């Protein structure tokens, strides 16, 4: 569904403009209803889901046992922090202030299309991820067989 990397500017009001190449797709596939939440695995990044994709993730996470600390952490970071957003007439969406602050999102950011969702990275965190290389040990569990 979504793919590609786009440099994004966040305005002084904490809004970003959805790239024009995605606007029709977001309107059609998500009914212009999106959900921001934390990336529970990496700092400096938020997830941005179309509503239908988000509902599947939400239901899976909520089905995890609340008595396990790792499940509870996922529930807090994903479901507890979820914020619904809709583009305005100019295609802009507001990023919740607490999420912007927690992830270090400032004026320059990067929006990645990651299939069912977007990832919104601070420019610094994205650069750090890009500069990180994978070792053979990191590519275990069958990843070495991928034809990249």
Tell me the pLDDT tens digit for each residue of 49-69.
Answer: 999 999 999 999 999 999 999
Confidence tier at 29 by pLDDT (50, 70, 90): confident
What is the distance between the alpha carbons of residues 141 and 113, in angstroms, rounded to a whole number? 25
Tokens of 108: 């320059």
Model pLDDT, residue 47? 98
* CATH number listed for the domain at residues 2-133: 3.40.1550.20
Mind listing the pLDDT tens digit for each residue in 82-96?
999 999 999 999 999
């Amino acid at each position: 569904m979504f793919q590609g990397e786009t440099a994004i500017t966040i305005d002084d009001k904490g809004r970003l403009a959805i790239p024009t190449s995605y606007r029709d797709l977001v309107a059609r596939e998500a009914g212009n209803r999106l959900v921001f939440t934390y990336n529970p695995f990496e700092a400096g990044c938020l997830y941005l889901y179309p509503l239908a994709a988000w509902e599947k993730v939400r239901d899976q996470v909520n089905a995890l046992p609340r008595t396990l600390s790792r499940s509870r952490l996922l529930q807090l970071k994903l479901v507890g922090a979820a914020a619904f957003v809709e583009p305005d007439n100019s295609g802009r969406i507001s990023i919740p202030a607490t999420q912007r602050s927690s992830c270090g999102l400032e004026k320059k950011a990067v929006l990645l299309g990651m299939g069912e969702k977007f990832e919104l990275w601070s420019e610094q965190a994205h650069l750090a991820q890009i500069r990180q290389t994978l070792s053979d040990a990191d590519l275990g569990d069958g990843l070495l067989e991928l034809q990249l």
